[in-house]
Amino acid sequence: AQSVAQPEDQVNVAEGNPLTVKCTYSVSGNPYLFWYVQYPNRGLQFLLKYITGDNLVKGSYGFEAEFNKSQTSFHLKKPSALVSDSALYFCAVRDSGYSTLTFGKGTMLLVSP
Amino acid sequence: KAGVTQTPRYLIKTRGQQVTLSCSPISGHRSVSWYQQTPGQGLQFLFEYFSETQRNKGNFPGRFSGRQFSNSRSEMNVSTLELGDSALYLCASSLQEGTYEQYFGPGTRLTVT
């Protein structure tokens, strides 16, 4: 069975500093990986995905993620955090094109001014 | 393009009642998925539909059911409501099945009293 782990419930970063939100996964086949963000009282917004190819994926709002097959990780990064980045971030995985999408528990990112 | 719309946005029901939630996907999207989001369990997958066929089903009791219409709109129904069914129900659409990213609606907040 596929699974996703987001080991940190909360990440605190000062504005202007780089941020990393961690995600590790477990699948039986090739992973298809996604990051989503959720603002209060809103649905989830798609940030980026890894299907195949370059291990560094660039997405919306300046976010990027690095796929590391050997460490089964897909960490979300941003070079310079903004206060407006404060939100709940979800990592998700599918282990084939037709399996269900499994989400991690989410990581709350708090960016202080 | 209009996003995913969900109706109603808020709903209060009594234990034992049933409820129907509606989802209209982004125009042209043929795949619709439903999720339940609660503080304790996070995002849990309910169903996935493609071309009016249920492709995947999550680990929920038979009280939870859904369907998709020929115009890709989807409904989910919960019968004999329990207090534990109180949650944010999210609908997501994608262009096709498989590795395509999902776009989420704002959700329906269901409160069971």
Quick one: which H or E segment has residue A40? none
SS3 for B17-44 is CCEEEEEECCCCCCEEEEEEEECCCEEE
Confidence of residue A43 (pLDDT cuts 50, 70, 90): confident
Q: Give the mean model confidence (pLDDT) for residues B73-97.
A: 95
Q: List pLDDT tens digits, range B6-46.
A: 999 999 999 999 999 999 999 999 999 999 999 888 899 99
Q: CA–CA separation, A106 vs A22, rounded Å?
A: 10
Q: Give the mean model confidence (pLDDT) for residues A46-55.
A: 91
Between B10 and A98, the more confident residue is: B10
Q: Is B12 on the interface with A (CB under 8 A)?
A: no
Confidence of residue B66 (pLDDT cuts 50, 70, 90): very high
Quick check: B4 and A102 CB within 8 A? no
Task: Output the pLDDT for position B46.
Answer: 96
Q: Give the mean model confidence (pLDDT) for residues B47-66.
A: 94
Interface of B with A in 15-54 (CB under 8 A): 33, 35, 42-43, 45, 48
Of B58, B90, B98, the CB nearest to A97: B98
